[in-house]
Amino acid sequence: MSCRQYSLKIWNTFGINAYANNITIADSIDTILSCRWKQSVKKNEPTLLLGEGSNVLFLHDFHGHVFINRIKGISVTEVADAWLLHIGAGESWHQLVRKTLIHGLAGLENLALIPGRVGSAPIQNIGAYGVDFATVCEYVDIMFLTDYSQKRLYVHECCFGYRKSVFKNTYKNGYVITAVGLRLKKNWQPVLSYSQLRHLDPKTVTPREVYQTVCAMRRSKIPDPKHIGNAGSFFKNPSVTMSFANDFLTQHPTIPYFLKNNGEIMLSAGGLIDHCALKGYRVGGAAVYDKQALVLINTGGASGQDIINLARFVRRRVAEEFNVWLEPEVCFISSQGEIDPVEVIV
């Protein structure tokens, strides 16, 4: 059965021109609970929930119903030591960062310009420049799509880690994130441990200055998906043991790395790819971005298979050079739903 009915090109930042059987904009919980969702379930039709589509790669047309989460609303409550925010999952993450700064609420500035909607932030535990979502999270509200009951998961229940959470396993299927709760401390302390942020004076720097620096760094490395299709960082930074790292860094002292709290070393995936001289390398309509090796781009008209073929080549080239196997950060969507990305590019 053909599903070339509704284009998903504007609903994924890669700009892949896949199609779906149906698309519904869900601006409220009631919309999600509408007869259209129930009809899809009754027909045993695949369903997919998207926010901005900023972390997905469509491999084929989707033979089901896509729901776009646009549940909005922001409320702020003041307590003695913090500002408590309750945000609808369909709000833009970057616009949330901007709005909090405009109203004098600091704490999200390191996470500026991360594409996507608020509801996607806990799934990946988005992070940048020393701060991740878990740092500011108070809770995540979810609704089960089997019986439509609702539940609030507090931060300790979310099992946050590097690009992972409980929403990638236990609560991966059959639920929708409807809202998140954030705690922004009044006693703001700047996080200046990465890149150009190190040049800022911790004694005088303002949240807006951190925000502006972060935006400048991201714009210099990651293209605007409105002009060049991409999903940001395509691969995760690989973690290795200390013993492996000692030998590795002796042989490759110029590869950037980070020390994790559990004692493991995290290597820079972008640094590994860059060392292989792959910037600008093309496969079909896909290419490694010439300003940031961690970003794969749609140069125009790329198919999902073009991106896959490029990712497979990059992964194998890095493994040949360093004996380190990269794993995609991006979610791969087949005709029936999400599939294991590593199995696709082996």
Task: Return the active site residues.
Answer: 163, 233, 329
Residue 319 has phi, psi (to 5 degrees) of -65, -40
* 236 secondary structure, DSSP code: P
Distances (CA, A) of 300 to 12, 13, 287, 330: 14, 12, 10, 19
DSSP 238-256: PEE-HHHHHHHHHH-TTS-
DSSP 7-46: E-GGGSTT----EEEEEEEE-SHHHHTSHHHHHHHHTT--
Spatial distance between the Cα atoms of 127 and 292, rounded to a whole number of angstroms: 17
Spatial distance between the Cα atoms of 236 and 270, rounded to a whole number of angstroms: 9
Contact at 8 Å (CB) between 13 and 53?
A: yes
Q: How many CB atoms lie within 10 A of CB 251?
A: 8
